[in-house]
Amino acid sequence: MLLRTVEAPLLGATCVLLVDEAGGVVVVDAGGGVADRVTRMVAAEGWNPVAVLATHGHVDHTWDAGLLCQRWGVPLHIHEADTYRLADPFGSLGPLGPQLRAMAGLPDPQDPPRVATSPAEPWVTAPLDLPWDGAIGALPLPGHTEGSTAYRVEVDGAAVLLTGDVLFAGSIGRTDLPGGDDATMARSLRLLAREDPLTQVVPGHGPRTTIGAELRTNPYLRAAR
């Protein structure tokens, strides 16, 4: 499996492209301003889009999801607990929403044409059923939002977690926005702290890291052990 990333102009959110051996591509977190670049990449490589995924429903991770879904005729997969955010992408952020909309300078998000929900049971990994030769496990990790979900894949024989805004290099996602919860986030972090230290982490913002590096240097993950 290939893994490629594109940094969104809006808040530097990380958009991930996962490509199987047959050229099927899954796009994770289509943030604001990535649609045209991602479309060009996919066309230039001759890849075949099969799905768009979101690690959670905050609009900086879903802004261009509807546009890509409409272009390609594919569904958006998002945890069912965060689907309400798609209908109210700014209001569901509380006071931050109007501020983000004003600063973005982008056309408003389009509603995805179809929505397929990922497994609802928190803290349990389940495979996603996609028309794709790769394998993706969905691991719901609530706390940043009710439906925050990490996606587990294997790239060149190494385990990789796409953690969205649950875990960053040196930090974690906010819990003070609507739908966030400190105690729930703590349980999600405890689960991540038990992952293999060699597991690679691709966060929703910022540089890549590993679970082992975060256990050594991230005070939030250290405290969760």
pLDDT in tens, 11-57: 999 999 999 999 999 999 999 999 999 999 999 999 999 999 999 99
The range of the structural domain enclosing residue 154 comes to 2-224
Average pLDDT value for residue range 77-100: 95
pLDDT(77) > 80: yes
CATH number of the domain enclosing 180: 3.60.15.10
Average pLDDT value for residue range 129-142: 96
Q: Return the pLDDT at 7.
A: 98
CB contact at 8 A, 202 and 5: yes
Q: Return the pLDDT at 125.
A: 95
pTM over 0.85: yes
Helices 35-45 and 65-72, axial angle in degrees (round to 10)? 40
How far out from the chain centre does Cα 64 lie?
13
pLDDT(116) > 90: no
Q: Return the pLDDT at 63.
A: 97
pLDDT band at 198 (very low <50, low <70, confident <90, very high): very high
Q: Return the pLDDT at 119.
A: 77
Question: How many domains is the chain partitioned into structurally?
Answer: 1
Q: Return the pLDDT at 167.
A: 98
Mean pLDDT over the full length of the chain: 96
Quote the CA–CA distance of 6 and 148 in Å, as a whole number.
Answer: 20
pLDDT(118) > 90: no
For 87, phi then psi, to 5°, come to -80, -20
Out of 40-54, 101-115, 124-138, least confident range: 101-115
